[in-house]
């Protein structure tokens, strides 16, 4: 029986088998080819000019190294963004200066290497459910996805965030599969690190425990629920330990408790302009509105919008924003990258996501995809926000393809 006594549990795959020499050679070949291809892209493609958030992160990092404080588009300390990515940049800029290398080239090279680590995490996560074929297929899908090449060249949070998010998913899968408290603690650490890079995922830390609690349908005094509560508390404690330096800094600098960052008002307000979030039709919706008032103005606009034009606003906050977020990949691509995104991550990926909720190993990445997508419906719909979910979509698609192939062939070979 499933350790957590959950319904609709999938048969145990061969993911617990040690990696054979042949499998090791295959995945190493995939990773090596991916590394060479992504480094080649970094050093041969035209370097994109820094813009918007990239300029903010770049100047913030230089300011931190020169003056010792974090201020995003500000000449004084701020908490507009969480500090994970600027500190990551600061370390790389410092090393680049020490060895006389262009700091942006150092960042892009490092991000290319980190992105290969993400491909490996995709492989080991997918292998847990669908065995070797699913792991290799997911790794290949993730490796050839062209926006992942482009992401390495951007001075943005995506590459580092994806790696940490996949690390969290791997830890939380093991936490419930192996029923070991150390994995719960590690999941809290990985979530904390991910949140320091991009905070929107933070509420998900409670989702697996709430899901398990209701699925068990047991008395709260049971031994399993005690174990669940202990795991949850340990995850929260380890998460809090990672976040504590940031919380203390904010208390000391601003004399108030800032949990994550203060930037949410801007994307929330921009998301309240139906079918014109990028100001292509009308004037800018954020113009002349102070940052401190943006959340309040956004909430008022949402209330009035649903009151005065409920059909329009309902369409915008559902199908409208979903089409903006998922209909195409992040970046200016055409041809096969768009086709791959559409067929692998939408036509196959979304059905696979809902189906994999019933797989005890795949339900956490599946729920994370749904949770994050629904959460971002409140904000400006940007393909960049959905990009971190594409490696998880590769896992969903690969797991489903292998399961279907196994059913058609009536064999367990594909799960081994």
Give the pLDDT confidence score for residue 7 in this predicted structure.
37
Residues 130-152, mean pLDDT to the nearest whole number? 95
Q: pLDDT tens digit string along 234-264?
A: 999 999 999 999 999 999 999 999 999 887 7
Residues 274-285, mean pLDDT to the nearest whole number? 88
Confidence of residue 20 (pLDDT cuts 50, 70, 90): confident
Q: pLDDT tens digit string along 180-217?
A: 899 999 999 999 999 999 999 999 999 999 998 888 66
CA 211 to chain centre: 20
* Domain encompassing residue 173: 16-263+309-415
Q: If residue 150 lies in a helix (H) or strand (E), which one and from where to where?
A: helix 146-152
Give the pLDDT confidence score for residue 361 in this predicted structure.
85
Instruction: Count the domains in the chain.
Output: 1
Residues 146-153, mean pLDDT to the nearest whole number? 97
Confidence of residue 1 (pLDDT cuts 50, 70, 90): very low
Q: pLDDT tens digit string along 331-371?
A: 989 999 999 999 999 999 999 999 999 998 899 999 999 99
271 lies in a domain? no
User: Tokens standing for 291?
Assistant: 């940052």
For residues 367 and 277, the model is more confident at: 367
- Could you tell me what percent of the chain has a pLDDT over 70? 92
Give the pLDDT confidence score for residue 174 in this predicted structure.
95
Average pLDDT, the chain: 90
Give the pLDDT confidence score for residue 292 in this predicted structure.
80
Give the pLDDT confidence score for residue 240 in this predicted structure.
98
Distance CA 167, CA 393 (A): 15
Confidence of residue 11 (pLDDT cuts 50, 70, 90): very low
User: Tokens standing for 94?
Assistant: 């410092």
Count of other CB atoms within 10 angstroms of residue 126: 33
Cα 375 to Cα 170, 199, 378: the distances in Å are 22, 12, 6
CA torsion through residues 62, 264, 276, 327, sign: positive
Q: Residues 385, 158, 141, 343: what is their CA dihedral angle, to the nearest 10 degrees?
A: 10
377 lies in a domain? yes
Distance CA 364, CA 174 (A): 11
Give the pLDDT confidence score for residue 9 in this predicted structure.
39
pLDDT of 413 above 80: no
88 lies in a domain? yes
Min mean pLDDT across 230-239, 289-298, 311-320 is at 289-298
126 lies in a domain? yes
For residues 59 and 265, the model is more confident at: 59
User: Tokens standing for 327?
Assistant: 């209909």
Distance CA 166, CA 172 (A): 10
pLDDT of 2 above 50: no
pLDDT of 219 above 80: no
294 lies in a domain? no
Distance CA 210, CA 275 (A): 35
Residues 277-297, mean pLDDT to the nearest whole number? 86
- Do 161 and 392 meet the contact criterion of CB atoms below 8 Å apart? no
376 lies in a domain? yes
Distance CA 4, CA 231 (A): 13
283 lies in a domain? no
290 lies in a domain? no
User: pTM here?
Assistant: 0.92
């Amino acid at each position: 029986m499933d350790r957590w006594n959950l319904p609709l549990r999938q048969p145990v795959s061969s993911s617990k088998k040690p990696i054979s020499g042949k499998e090791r050679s295959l995945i190493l070949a995939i990773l090596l080819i991916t590394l060479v291809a992504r480094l080649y892209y970094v050093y041969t493609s035209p370097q994109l000019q820094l813009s918007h958030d990239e300029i903010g992160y770049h100047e913030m990092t230089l300011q931190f190294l020169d003056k010792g404080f974090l201020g995003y588009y500000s000449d004084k300390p701020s908490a507009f963004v969480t500090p994970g990515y600027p500190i990551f940049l600061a370390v790389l800029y410092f090393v680049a200066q020490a060895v006389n290398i262009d700091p942006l080239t150092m960042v892009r090279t490092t991000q290319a290497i980190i992105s290969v680590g993400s491909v490996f995490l995709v492989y080991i996560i997918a292998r847990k459910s669908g065995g070797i074929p699913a792991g290799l297929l997911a790794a290949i899908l993730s490796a050839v996805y062209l926006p992942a090449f482009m992401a390495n060249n951007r001075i943005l949070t995506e590459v580092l965030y994806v790696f940490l998010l996949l690390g969290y998913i791997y830890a939380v899968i093991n936490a419930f599969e192996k029923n070991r408290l150390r994995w719960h603690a590690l999941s809290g650490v990985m979530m904390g690190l991910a949140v320091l890079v991009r905070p929107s995922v933070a509420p998900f830390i409670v989702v697996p425990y709430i899901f398990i609690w209701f699925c068990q349908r047991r008395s709260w005094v049971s031994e399993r629920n005690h174990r669940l509560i202990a795991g949850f508390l340990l995850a929260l404690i380890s998460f809090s330990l990672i976040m504590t330096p940031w919380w203390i800094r904010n208390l000391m600098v601003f004399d108030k408790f800032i949990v994550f960052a203060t930037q949410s008002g801007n994307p929330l307000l921009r998301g309240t302009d139906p079918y014109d979030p990028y100001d292509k039709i009308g004037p800018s919706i954020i113009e002349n509105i102070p940052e401190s008032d943006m959340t309040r103005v956004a909430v008022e606009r949402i209330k009035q919008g649903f009151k005065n034009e409920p059909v329009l606003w309902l369409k915008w906050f559902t199908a409208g924003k979903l089409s903006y977020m998922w209909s195409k990949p992040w970046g200016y691509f055409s041809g096969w990258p768009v086709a791959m995104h559409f067929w692998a991550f939408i036509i196959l990926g979304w059905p696979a996501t809902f189906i994999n909720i019933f797989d005890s190993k795949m339900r956490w990445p599946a729920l994370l995809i749904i949770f994050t997508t629904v959460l971002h419906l409140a904000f400006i719909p940007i393909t960049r926000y959905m990009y971190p979910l594409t490696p998880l979509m590769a896992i969903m698609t690969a797991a489903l393809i292998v399961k279907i192939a196994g059913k058609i062939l009536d064999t367990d070979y594909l799960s081994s």
